Structure 1
Amino acid sequence: MTPSPGDRVRVERSGVTDEGVLMPSSDEAHLVVKLEGGYNVGVDREEATVEVLERGAHDVDEAGEEGGDGSEIEFDEDLPTVALISTGGTIASTVDYRTGAVTAQFDAEDVLRAVPDLAGRANYRGRVVANMLSENMEPSVWVDLAAAVADEIERGADGVVVMHGTDTMQFSASALSFMLDTPVPVVFTGSQRSADRPSSDNVMNAVCAVEAAKADCAEVMVCMHGSPSDDYCALHRGTRVRKNHTSRRDAFETVGAEPLGRVDYGVDDTAVSFADKPRRSRGDADLAVAADLNEDVELVKFTPGMDPAAWDYLDGADGVVIEGTGLGHVHTDLIPRVESLVDAGTTVAMTSQCIEGRVCDRVYDTGRDLLDAGVVEAGDTLPGTAKVKLMWALANADDPADAMGRDLAGELTEESRPWT
């Protein structure tokens, strides 16, 4: 009896026996079996003996999801329209059973089929800007992404959800925060764990992100698990968020402040609430795009014992962000290197390696010497956000150095204003 997707099967190979539901496979050389615990396993067809235990035990669609046609989403005039923009990442990934690696290969339409819980919450338009793992993200993709988001808003989208890999999501969210004045929510979301894992966070994050995209808010946010449990997602401002854990589902945190809000997750009732009034409510701003970037910006980290020659590669850069110690310090021997960069026309901004707090180079002699050398204080702007901000400021601000000390997109907290 030839097995088909949806059959319950017993697979034997090399003395190992597995039982589960046969799933669709991305290639003809491998079988994919969903085990009782929820994990998928890939098996070489030629090495396996397959016994069908129950024909048609589960209904699965071509994307490998149980439920078949239940994920179809039809237009409803009473629902808002949410644009789903995919850049790849784990939330839009599957397992390559030739290698066992997770690869990004689903487009936005596949995500809709993979998350049937999205049905009935909105009307959707799917769009693919890129299909990459987020470590391969480039500033040029941010430009394309900003243009795609703006286009969807111009076409009448009531909100936008950007599906993105988690490793560099904070950079992309920061970039769009500076590049866009948006009249609707723009919500980044992703998944720490791929859909084949029973602990995957992809469904809840996607559902909560869609609900956030329908909310009365108009800024760029990140929506990810707010706790290890499937109870709520936190909404983080795009310029204040940081991924603080490699694998936990609640890896993302707002640094130096409370999250903007939360989305309480429920099968029948998913509610969005904000801790404080958002910077902008829906419709407060007209859509505007300033997507130019100067990519000639480097982010460097000072460490004790660093050879000043290690910074020679910075010569000629248009911008440099330093991640200094404490209030914003580097070794005294590096100050002449900083001064030579500034004298050559490089904008040099100082941030701190500390997780919270702002730089202030007027407290110690080293800091005062750095200010005399021409360093610009970036307050409590997160180092990664500061790099993106300087790329944007060099291309769009009349005085990039002055812009680095001003709050442009919520990157500086109220407590980070200069000491008096």
Structure 2
Amino acid sequence: MLDPTLQQTLDEVLRRNPGEPEFHQAVREVFESLQVVQERHPEYSDKGIITRLCEPERQIIFRVPWVDDAGTVQVNRGFRVEYNSALGPYKGGLRFHRSVNLGIVKFLGFEQIFKNSLTGLPIGGGKGGSDFDPHGRSDGEVMRFCQSFMTELHRHIGEYTDVPAGDIGVGAREIGFLFGQYKRLTNRYEAGTLTGKGLDWGGSLVRKEATGYGAAIFADEMLKARGSSFDGRRVAVSGSGNVALYAIEKTEQLGGIAVTASDSSGYVVDDDGIDLELLKQIKEVERGRISEYAERRGGRARYVAGGSVWDVPVAIALPSATQNELDEQAARTLVANGVEAVSEGANMPCTPSAVAVFRDKGIAFGPGKAANAGGVATSALEMQQNASRDAWTFEYTEDRLTAIMKGIHTTCLETADEFGRPGDYVLGANVAGFRKVADAMMAFGVI
């Protein structure tokens, strides 16, 4: 049960934001951790901090008309939720997927506030996207959509205002088209306005790898805290997009054996360890299906249509596909099969009941706002390089990323200890992320 003041605030959030279950889920999960803060710091409620934090500073919804290859006019909907700028310019990705709606974007933006706070870098929280799906579209169609999208969005963003990046459905191709249109419309080469750019025009080494690397590094830190490691351990990774590919790569570098990958059609199991170069060829170059991996592994891997990748016995799980992909039953299966650590590579991939199972059973669980913060952290490093007209080496940037992820892990552990919940990374991440933002909001007055 929540503190009455928090419950009243939560009830009001639910009332004012109907039909947005993912947003409700994200807010409720944070509120459950803030109970301990409320007891020690009632001034946050007295100043309306928690109430204000739940209301985005700005919500932008716009029409995106474009013409497909057949000459037919298509219309999609664009979103940008500029959620909180207490710590710096709004920062968060753009997601192009048919599932995108305002509630999804608000959930992602709300999570982004705390994630960005945990990095220790001067960036606020925001998120955006469209219900446009680039899958199966030609380069020309994607270009025309991106140009139309940016024609509206450009008036709301800037390196000191709001800095979008990529997310699901928005990779280097899409960022290129978006930045090109921004440059055309503004007549300015403001490289720091978008991150995830190509290396030849303002991008940062390690940005592509950062989210997946960060999730694996966070898992490694959780294991070390328990006297364990990746060494020789079987690891399940869901998804086969950017986050999953580089979670697999860092898993291998840390000595683990990643044995799974998946997409919307099913999953593959490769007991010898995923052949990463083959998987990259299929998913990054050919944009093919995961079933093709098993076909081209010559019988060394098996493909399972549908089903749950979490049925595979592993010691470590890195859910890296999408929200609410790992439910209570999957969590119980993982626990029964001996899972030791779960680190969220995607945003909120575990349902609340799944998280409850992991916490109840004492599994090391790294929530997404901590475990997958590597992507946005490296985006902020890209902004630093753009601001100084500099370009860092891969090794230097990866060292910075590793230090940030280790720092987040330490912050979460120390905060959990401070509030009497040792080893509770969920509480540690929520409380540490919240306090930094709340203190800044207190300093600024009622705005």
Q: TM-score, normalised by structure 2?
A: 0.28
Q: Larger relative CO (CA 8 A, sep 6+): 1 or 2?
A: 2
Structure with the bigger percentage of strand = 1
Which of structures 1 and 2 has the bigger CA Rg? 1
Higher helix share: 2
